[in-house]
Chain A
Amino acid sequence: RKEVEQDPGPFNVPEGATVAFNCTYSNSASQSFFWYRQDCRKEPKLLMSVYSSGNEDGRFTAQLNRASQYISLLIRDSKLSDSATYLCVVNAPGGYQKVTFGTGTKLQVIP
């Protein structure tokens, strides 16, 4: 099983739709979780951290499910500008400074 797995997509959704991505991780000892966003031919940028209690930032909500070892990202009222690849990031076992990136889920918001 890969350390971090994501559905590559693409997810094609109309503007205004709600879309959710999941990401599973293999190591139950992982403690830090993030969602990064990467636009085409650009660098990844932090979208949000994922806390045990879940967190929300505007139209974006992130959740952590430790029992099932997955994190999720929910985007409400999708905008064209949300089109990007969303990378799930989990801290790697055994190394406090090392995180593992998922291969990303591509989202395309259609007018």
Chain B
Amino acid sequence: DTAVSQTPKYLVTQMGNDKSIKCEQNLGHDTMYWYKQDSKKFLKIMFSYNNKELIINETVPNRFSPKSPDKAHLNLHINSLELGDSAVYFCASSLGGASTDTQYFGPGTRLTVL
């Protein structure tokens, strides 16, 4: 059973397109996150939701819009894709969202913008 799943695993698209990445967790966790890992392997948080409510919104372009239809799902929509958006995007979840909680990561979505 996959605890945190993401789709698609790979995404190759042209500049200017709009794309979405989906994330689901079956751990019963209250908090979900989106991270971006760039080519230098730096893992940076983008968003965090707790029970469908936005908790963390880092300095991310408005082209990125997260949506949480329920606490088990957190999707990421990206408008007008740019070359610099190429990265691996990881979804994660944790039990209650406290910084002491272990975060469980999905397998990542490797986005390539051409």
Contact = CB atoms under 8 A, between A and B. Distances in A.
B40 A103 contact: yes
A111 B55 CA distance: 46
Contact of A97 (B31, B40, B44, B107): B31
Contact of A44 (B50, B90, B98, B99): B90
Contacts of A103: 40-42
A57 B100 CA distance: 18
Interface in A1-56: 31-32, 34, 42-46, 49
B102 interface: yes
Interface residues of A, number: 22
Interface string B65-105: 00000000000000000000000001000000111101111
A98 B102 contact: no
Contact of B98 (A34, A42, A97): A97
A86 B106 CA distance: 17
B102 A97 contact: no
A96 B31 CA distance: 12
Given A43-B90, A44-B43, A85-B41, A99 B107 contact: no
A91 B40 contact: no
Interface in B20-44: 31, 35, 40-44
Contacts of B104: 46
A73 interface: no
A97 B103 contact: no
Q: Most A CB atoms within 10 A — which of B40, B43, B104, B108? A: B43
Interface of B: 31, 35, 40-45, 48, 50, 55-56, 90, 97-100, 102-108
27 contacts: A32-B100, A34-B102, A42-B108, A43-B105, A43-B107, A43-B108, A44-B43, A44-B105, A45-B105, A46-B102, A46-B103, A46-B104, A49-B102, A87-B43, A91-B99, A91-B100, A95-B56, A95-B99, A96-B97, A96-B99, A97-B31, A97-B48, A97-B56, A99-B99, A101-B44, A103-B40, A103-B41
